[in-house]
Chain A
């Protein structure tokens, strides 16, 4: 069994996001970038399945600018066997990513595609679902537990009502939740080894995918600042304020 894992390069989750003054986006210059956190879980799970002898190869793929190579390299350092970088400059929307991944899947013929449930930059939570539709494959989203069966997967999903367990036939798309596992560290020896693993570079146009944005972004702005709270002296004052000022009771 072969597993393809999609990884995205995003602004590190510790960095305080700053909106560009002209409202065209957020500042990314000299900002620390990292792998999208749930994508780390996706890689970890794929590597674990391989280590358990249930998969033969783990291939990491990223779609993005040249520097997304670092993200692929990180996946190689924690156990992926080889990498693919599909180079695209500028904004790329989930639909275009799905179409690119579709082409990569057609070429690589994996049995499973893993990725994070959503990316922490645009929070779209669409790519896995759209890829499943394009490939007409079953999908298991928000996976917090995966069990590999003979020709299927038993996947526990994190949903509003609690945990839902479903079975999907392979080939399938799985999007991973942060609770799925604890990603391992990239050790120094493995980082050194990863430098020697191959990364194939292609472009979106090589794959014949049009990546032009379909969505017009009007403006990016910071959420309004939360106003400071006030202290009230008594319960009466609180009730009165809730009635007259907040008008909630």
Chain B
């Protein structure tokens, strides 16, 4: 069946900080360009989840007058804390002893979702066409192999793949240049990296899973502008991770936890680690008496410089965390994503005006502060593969004494799906039951995300081998999907002594962890029908 076609100068896939920055910058450089942005969420911001302590550097360049444009960037960081947690005790680390990249006094506590909504308004005012609810599900290629554009998902297809009465075919959006800005582990970005070998001679990408809850807490415990991070308990020395707690406006705190997806123990449940973390006395005393109002989770990039793929290919650019521009030691990816988007727009304009090849992206990137920042940060994350304590000592030397200029680059040795050890070799973890006051179960948490997918549609979590979960992964790794999924999508159900692998795809909050961590890479995340997934508010 033929699809309708629409031609643009630039098609941008993904309405997050990088894609919207590209859109805005393009229109600033040449207002005659036709630019559209496709977004899979039902509205801009609804699939955005981030801490977020925001560094304004890229925004200062993009919209220098952002303070006059009623931006949602209001809460300045006023105070910082860093705690090492033991099981019951905590040790406060003086902030002057933190590497400068972890100092936040010039930054703001924001909701990235709200920032994106605001960026989308700015983009629309400049004439960018934004289409929420339309996931790009397929890359289209020219005969010479270059990227021609994308096609949106067909709507109104039933579970078996038949057309329903409401069937609407997808549409082909063709761009002179297509920009992929899907965020961490974008499903088209993943295909492009493979097809164009963008990751050749790079280290395997590293990921983490980040959780976030928004709490409304007691006024007397709330300190607007306070930024607090922790390391240590409940994770052991060999698992990379830590927490954040940001005191935002309106008595809200953004409370979250990040765990490296290179963890080894298949019994580990990132969700339960986060829930358990909240029961630590130094955390519990702050949220006690408060109310949890939001929950969400999303995979994030941790690989940094060594794992950053080439960001250009014939006809297209790959930007933001679709490539992997997050700065891990800084725990920030928004300003770097935005900068990569700005560079993309500059590249595209040069490409149109002086017929320069898109490969000039590389040169522009290399001459930017983004490159410098990621280069200096490169050795921090791999050093934690030696454990928390050695990682901290090394990071002190690398970041404080040498400011990231040590004459070598540590490597990421494994992909995250390769790190799990067999279940029988690793200790089981006994997680405490949720008390429904401080800690919660997955069901009540997913409820807060407003997640929904149209019932009667094909399952968007595809198994390469449908029998593998039961025949292999269950025995070898105790099917870790039951635990790494933050939304309870995967279950092993036992009926009459027969195990069944169940995929509750309607619960999926689009975090992409399964696509990353499944030990045999047996699960592929594809786009569900448009508008499906979480409906995050101010995440």
Contacts and interface: CB of A to CB of B under 8 A. Distances in A.
Q: Do A and B come from one complex?
A: yes
Contact of B166 (A14, A15, A185, A188): A185
A118 to B, nearest CB: 21
Nearest to B451: A14
B345 to A, nearest CB: 23
Nearest to A32: B535
Contact of B131 (A29, A183, A191): A191
A12 B133 CA distance: 14
A30 B114 contact: yes
B42 interface: yes
A206 interface: no
Contact of B45 (A30, A183, A189): A30
Nearest to B167: A185
B498 interface: no
A182 B168 CA distance: 13
Contacts of A29: 537-538
Nearest to B155: A185
A187 B113 contact: no
Interface in B228-257: none
B240 to A, nearest CB: 32
Interface string B152-177: 10011000000011101001000000
A79 to B, nearest CB: 13
Interface in A85-112: none
Interface residues of A, number: 21
Given A14-B451, A185-B156, A30 B538 contact: yes
7 contacts: A12-B450, A12-B535, A14-B535, A16-B447, A32-B537, A188-B6, A188-B171
Contacts of B530: 185
B165 A187 contact: no
A14 B537 CA distance: 12
Contacts, number: 59
Given A12-B450, A187-B171, A189-B6, A182 B165 contact: yes
A21 B216 contact: yes
Nearest to A228: B436
B245 to A, nearest CB: 21
B450 A32 contact: yes
A184 interface: yes
B535 A188 contact: no
Nearest to A195: B129
A220 interface: no
A33 to B, nearest CB: 8
Interface string A1-25: 0000000000010111010010000
A31 interface: yes
Given A183-B166, A185-B530, A189-B6, 16 more contacts: A14-B450, A14-B451, A15-B450, A16-B450, A29-B538, A30-B537, A32-B43, A34-B42, A182-B164, A184-B168, A185-B155, A186-B133, A188-B4, A189-B4, A189-B171, A192-B129
A15 B537 CA distance: 9
A182 B158 CA distance: 14
Nearest to A184: B166
A188 B450 contact: no
Nearest to B111: A30
A187 B172 CA distance: 12
Nearest to B533: A14
Given A32-B42, A188-B134, A15 B535 contact: yes
B452 interface: yes
Contacts of B117: 30
B401 interface: no
Interface string B252-293: 000000000000000000000000000000000000000001
Interface string A184-217: 1111110110000000000000000000000000
Contacts of B114: 30
B448 interface: yes
A183 B165 CA distance: 10
B210 to A, nearest CB: 20
Interface in B16-64: 42-43, 45-46
Contacts of A34: 42
B152 A12 contact: no
A18 B293 contact: yes
B42 A31 contact: no
Q: Which 6 A-B pairs have the closest CB atoms?
A: A14-B452, A185-B155, A14-B450, A188-B171, A32-B535, A187-B168
Nearest to A189: B4
A171 B466 CA distance: 57
Contacts of A21: 216
Nearest to A18: B293
A184 B6 CA distance: 21
Contacts of A188: 4, 6, 131, 134, 152, 171
B457 to A, nearest CB: 12
A191 B171 CA distance: 12
A29 B111 CA distance: 13
Contacts of B451: 14
A21 B222 CA distance: 16
A51 to B, nearest CB: 13
A183 B156 CA distance: 11
Interface in A168-182: 182
Contacts of B166: 182-185
B448 A16 contact: yes
Contacts of B171: 187-189
B72 to A, nearest CB: 9
B113 A30 contact: yes
A187 B134 CA distance: 9
A189 B168 CA distance: 11
Contacts of A183: 166
Interface string A145-189: 000000000000000000000000000000000000011111111
Contacts of A185: 155-156, 166, 168, 530
Contacts of B537: 15, 29-32
Nearest to A190: B168
A187 B155 contact: yes
Contacts of A186: 133
Nearest to B539: A30
Contacts of B111: 30
A184 B129 CA distance: 22
Nearest to B454: A185
A184 B168 CA distance: 8
Interface string B111-143: 101100100000000000101011000000000
Interface string B291-333: 0010000000000000000000000000000000000000000
Contacts of A32: 42-43, 46, 450, 535, 537
Contacts of A15: 450, 535, 537
Nearest to B72: A30
Nearest to B134: A188
A91 to B, nearest CB: 21
Nearest to A191: B131
Nearest to B152: A188
B462 to A, nearest CB: 23
A185 B156 CA distance: 8
